[in-house]
Structure 1
Amino acid sequence: MKIGELANATGVPSETIRYYEKIGLLPEPDRDSSGYRCYRPAHLDRLLFIRRCRNLDMAQDEIRELIRLAELPEADCSEVDALLARHLIHVRERLKELASLEETLVQLQEACSDRRTVRECGILGGLKSELETPEPEGRHNHVPGTHGPGQT
């Protein structure tokens, strides 16, 4: 099948499929005589696996490791379990970060319950004071699907 067909079958954009090939998560397909990529059922299966992992917010390195482990069907699955346990710790930490974020947003919103001018806006004032306060150590922004240094 061609890349557009694979994209339609999986719900993964063509650009993302090419990216996964580039970084080695998806094996490069054969090319037909006119140079178009020709994907096999194995590509479809792998791409669906990657998509499921991404839906669980797994990082590329985690997915790469799961793919490596899946290629050893007779091996002990304790490494798979350990990887999932580490990811679950990450998810729980992220939930705490999101709860803190929610609390901050609620406080900001409550600071502007009265009708005021933009100059008097409690939300903007709160954001300004937040920017002047250094972020506590250990807190960081999180982009879904990524992990901090040294984490998997």
Structure 2
Amino acid sequence: MKIGEASRLSGCHIETIRYYERVGILSPTARSESGYRCYADHHIQQLRFILHARELGFSLDDIRELLSLKEQPDLSCQAVDSITDKHLHGIRNRIRHLESLARELRRISASCSGGHIAECRILEALGKH
């Protein structure tokens, strides 16, 4: 199938498909005599895998490694667990950071008197940090 059909079936934008192939995340495709990329069902499955992993926040490097591990079904899944645990740790750290940012914004926002810009405590607080 051509790239437009692969895009439709996978839910992945055409330019993104080309990018994934260029950076080596999507396995290479065959080319037709006229130079069009020819995608197979396994490419659609790879694209869906990549999209889901991206939705979960995995980096492209992690996805590349996960796809490589997926091709070695007899290996222990310890490497997959390790990648996932590292990613989960990063998410938890970002959540803590975002919660801290939210607390700070609530504190700054609570100082707002609703007056004029000249007396705006939010702008004052942002300028002091």
Q: Same fold (TM over 0.5)?
A: yes
Partner SS state of residue 72, structure 1: coil
- Cross-structure match for 1:93: 93
What residue is the counterpart of 1:129 in the other structure? 128
SS at match of 2:64: helix
Moved over 3 A (4+): none
Query: Which residue of 1 is the match for residue 61 of structure 2?
Result: 61
1:14-59 CA distance string (max 9 Å, x none): 1111111111000221222222211111110001001111111001
Post-superposition CA distance 1:54-93 (Å, at most 9, x none): 1110011111111111111011111111111111111111
Deviations 1:111-151 (A, max 9, x none): 22x22222222221121112xxxxxxxxxxxxxxxxxxxxx
The 5 Å alignment of 1:1-152 reads 1-112=1-112, 114-130=113-129
Identity %: 41
Letter in 2 for 1:106: R
Q: What is the CA RMSD across the aligned residues, in angstroms?
A: 1.3
Give me the whole-angstrom Cα distance separating, in 2, the residues matched to 1:68 and 1:19. Answer: 18
CA distance in 2, matches of 1:120, 1:34: 67
Counterpart amino acid of residue 118 in structure 1: I
What one-letter code is carried by the residue in structure 1 that aligns with 2:68? R
Q: Secondary structure at the match of 2:74?
A: coil
Contact 2:10–2:44 at 8 Å: present in 1 too? yes
1:11 Cα deviation after fit:
2.1
Query: Which runs of no fewer than 5 residues in structure 2 stay unpaired?
Result: none
